[in-house]
Amino acid sequence: MIMARPLRSAYRHLVPGILTLALAPLAFCAEPLTRPSHITFDSAGALVVDGQKVFPITLTIVPPPGSKTPTGKDAYEEFRDGGAWFMRSGGPSWTNQETLEKELRVQDAAAKHGMRCCPWMGWDLCAIKPGDTAREQQLRDVISKLKESPGMGLWKGDDEPEWGKRPPARVDNTARIIHEADPNHPIWLVQAPRGTVKSLKRYDAGWDVGGIDIYPISYPPGRHTEAANKEITMVGDFTRMMKEVAGSKPFWMTLQIAFSGATPPKGIIRFPSAFDQRFMCYEAIINGARGLVFFGGGNPTTLNERDAQLGWNWTYWDRILKPLLQEFVTSSPIAEALVAPDSQTQLKVTGVKGARGQKNPDASPMEFLVREAGDNIYIFACKKEGPAIQVRFDGLPSSCGTGQVLFEEPRVVESKAGSFTDWFVQYDVHVYRFKR
C-alpha cells in the first residue's frame, strides 16, 4: 500500500543540502555582456552559449530595470549571481514603438549584469498567418533591432499554442521568419499541461527548444492540470510526455514559484517548499529536461508587504530558490554532469528492505539518471511515492568504490562489485558521484 506524505507548505523544512549551500559564500560574479551571442545546442541537447555548455535557469516574469533587492542590490545582478542565465521579457503586443524601446532598455540592463532576455513575441507576432506580409515585415523589423543586442538570448515563441488552438501553420510561419532573420538565437516555446503527444507534436516545427509548464502546488493539489495525478510527481509525467513530443530536440520544464491557481481571489496562496521544489527540479532533469524555468516570482497578489514594493518575491528567492539554484550553477559539483550526454551504463534498482524490515519492497517508484564526465560517474535518483525503503543499485563498474552523496556532505556510500545501497523516503533526491 502506498503511503502518501502531505505536501509541505511554503517556506518550511529547508533540506540539509540546500541549507548548507545557503550558508556558503557564492563564488560566481557575472561580467557584463558586450557582444551579441551565438546560441545553439549540442547533440545531447545541452545549451551552448558562445561555445560554453550551460545548464540554463530562466526566470519569468521579472521586475523592470533598476529594481532592487531588499538590501539595495540591483535585482538583475542578484538574479545572475544567484544562478539565473535568462529572463523572459517582451509583451503581449508589438504594434507600437514603445514595446520595442522598452525591450531594448530591459536587454541593456540585463547585459550589464551578465543576463540575457527571452522576448515573448506577443499575440500579434507569435503566430502570423502565412501571407500576412505586413505582420511578417513587422516581425522582421523587431528582429533586426534586437538580434545584435548583447542582452538577446532566445526568442520566446507562442505561449501554450495547443491549448489556445492556434493553427500550427501560423506558429511555423513565425519560426520560419525568425530562423531566416536571426540564425544565432533559437526559439523557445512552452505548451500547457494539456493535449496529447500527437496534438503537441503538430507544433514541433515552431521551436528549437520546447517545454511544458506544470504547477502542482495548490489547494486542492493539482488544480493546474486535468490529469488524474494530482501529486507533485505530475512533473515527471509531463516531462516524459514532453520527451516523447520532442524526440531528439531539447526541452526545458517550467516550474512554479506561484501561479494563478494558487493566488487570490479564486485561489489560496501556496508556494512549493524547499523539499518539494528540489524534488520537482530533479524529477524533471532525471526524465530529460535540459533546463529549468521558474514562473511567478513577480505575481503581485502573492507578494508580502515588503516584496510588493520591490516587485519580486524576494522572500521565496532568499529562503528557497536561490539556495537550491546553487546546485545547478557552473561552480556546482554536478555542473559537468548537467551538460553531459546520458550514460550508456545500465543500472538496475531493486528493493532491499522496508522501514519495518520488510524484504524486497517495491522499488518501481524509483527514478534515476546516469551521466558520465571525465573520470566521474553521476547518479541522480529520486523516489516519487510510497513508504521509506532501502534500495540497491547494481551495474556500476567494479572499479567504483566510495561514492559521495553530493549536497549531503559528509555522507558517502560504498560500492562493492558494482553495487551499493541507500535509503529513500517519498520525494527524496540523492545525487551520487563515483570515481571510475
Give the Å distances, CA to CA, from 191 to 162, 197, 203, 210, 352.
7, 11, 10, 8, 40
Question: 261 and 141, same structural domain?
Answer: yes
Domain that holds residue 222: 16-332
Q: Are both 90 and 224 inside the same structural domain?
A: yes
Classify residue 270: in a domain, yes or no: yes
Distance CA 232, CA 180 (A): 40
pLDDT tens, position by position, 289-317: 999 999 999 999 999 999 999 999 999 99
| 3-state SS class at 257 | coil
253 inside domain: yes
308 and 367 inside one domain: no
Question: What per-residue confidence (pLDDT) applies to 15?
Answer: 52
Going across the sheet that includes 366-373, the strands are: 366-373, 376-383, 429-435, 402-406, 412-414
Q: Both 288 and 396 in a single domain?
A: no
The secondary structure of the chain in percent helix, strand, coil, rounded to multiples of 5, reads 30, 25, 50
- Which domain CATH number covers 361? 2.60.40.1180
Instruction: Determine, yes or no, domain membership for 257.
Output: yes
- Res 263: pLDDT: 86
Write the CA distances from 102 to 106, 340, 407, integer angstroms: 6, 37, 41
Q: What is the mean pLDDT of residues 336-346?
A: 98
Please check whether residues 318 and 354 belong to one and the same domain. no
Is 5 among the domain residues? no
Q: Pick from 332, 362, 390: which residue ends a domain?
A: 332
pLDDT given at position 5: 36
160, HSE (Cβ side, Cα atoms, 13 Å): 9
Say if residue 127's pLDDT is above 70.
yes
pLDDT digits (tens, 9 = 90+) for 192-234: 999 999 999 999 999 999 999 999 999 999 999 999 999 999 9
CA distance 376 to 46: 18
Q: Identify whether 340 is part of a domain.
A: no
Residue 117 sits in the same domain as residue 242: yes
Residues 285 and 399 in one domain: no
Average pLDDT over residues 89-115: 96
Domain endpoint, select from 299, 332, 365: 332
pTM for the complete prediction?
0.93
**For residue range 411-423, what is the model confidence (pLDDT) as tens digits?**
999 999 999 999 9
Domain co-membership, 308 together with 178: yes
Binned at pLDDT 50, 70 and 90, residue 266 comes out as confident
The pLDDT of residue 39 = 99
Q: What is the CATH number of the domain that holds 108?
A: 3.20.20.80
Domain-embedded: residue 258: yes
Q: What digits encode the pLDDT tens for the residues 10-46? A: 333 445 454 444 434 344 568 999 999 999 999 999 9
Residue 140: Cβ within 10 Å count: 15
CA distance 223 to 296: 16
Angstrom CA distances, 53 to 93, 165, 329, stand at: 33, 35, 12
Max avg pLDDT among 60-69, 91-100, 254-263: 60-69
Residue 88 lies in a domain: yes
Domain for residue 9, yes or no?
no
Same structural domain, 285 and 431? no
Give residue 245's pLDDT band: very low, low, confident or very high (50, 70, 90).
very high
Strands 187-190 and 155-159: parallel
- Which of the residue ranges 29-38, 59-68, 120-129 would you say has the lowest mean pLDDT? 29-38
118 has pLDDT over 80: yes
Total number of domains constituting the chain: 2
Answer yes or no: do 68 and 161 share one domain: yes
Nearest of 343, 344, 328, 320 to residue 284 by alpha carbon: 328
Helix (H, G, I), strand (E, B) or coil at 146: helix
- pLDDT averaged over the chain? 94
Question: Where is the domain boundary, 332, 365, 385?
Answer: 332
How far is it, in rounded angstroms, from Cα 194 to Cα 428?
A: 27
Give 62: exposed, middle or buried? Use CB within 10 Å, 0-12, 13-18, 19+: buried
In the block, residue with C-alpha cell 536571426: 182
Task: Let me know whether 59 and 110 are in one domain.
Answer: yes
Same domain, 356 and 225: no
